[in-house]
Structures are given as structure tokens and as C-alpha cells.
Amino acid sequence: MRNKWDYIARLEEAIMELHCCCASWHKTVPVHEVLRGQTVWKGDVEVFNLKGHPKAKLCYGWSRRNGKNDKGERFVTVLGIPPVESALTAVRVSIVADGKPTAKQKPKTKVAHYRTPN
């Protein structure tokens, strides 16, 4: 199993490729989002400082299993641009984006996904 620093490095690389700026890890924030008494998301969100991005100073990221038998890895990155002001709001925006909202519900913040090559 890869250690946390390998994971951080892969996530950092994905952020730099997706958002065309430099990223450096800042901290890990545990998030537990509950809706109507049910857990809808639980995990660690990595927070990165950005350098060279025109609008954002922070980026929030995490991974999830992807592909056949969940053997792949898919990174989710959310720029810290309002309304995203914390790891929790980054997760909430990602949930809404994954739910294929209508034009009226569509968040203003872009959620980027990066699949690692298998």
C-alpha cells in the first residue's frame, strides 16, 4: 500500500495539471457530510496552497476508487473560489456537481476530475 506522502504527491500533480499552477500541500481536514440523518460523504480532504492561479489561493482535493473492480483512482479537485470556502463546502459542491443539476441549480464553481493512468 502506498503511503500518505505518495498519495499527496499524486494529488498535487493532478492539481497542477488540471489547474495550470503550482500546488503545495497545507493540511488534511476530515469531513463528514450528513443529509437527513444519512452519511452522504465521509473522508479526508487535502488542502493545497496554490501559486500562480489567477483566482484561487487554495484547492481542495481527494480521491475515490474508479474503473473496473474499483482498481483505478480518480482525483476530485475543487478550487477555493466562493462559494467554496472550506473543505466541507468543497465536498458539497462536488456532490451537487455529480448529481447532474439543472441549469438553475448548477454551481458556479468548477469541479475537476483527474483519472490516473492505469
Q: What is the pLDDT of residues 6-26, one digit of tens each?
A: 999 999 999 999 999 999 999
Q: Return the closest-CA partner of residue 116 out of 65, 79, 49.
A: 65
Give the torsion through C-alpha atoms of 40, 92, 86, 20, to 10 deg.
120
Average pLDDT, stretch 58-68?
Answer: 85
Beta strands 58-66 and 38-51, pairing class: antiparallel
Q: What is the pLDDT of residues 78-100, one digit of tens each?
A: 999 999 999 999 999 999 888 75
Q: What is the residue-averaged pLDDT of the chain?
A: 85
Given a cut of 70, whether residue 110 has pLDDT beyond it is no
- pTM here is 0.80
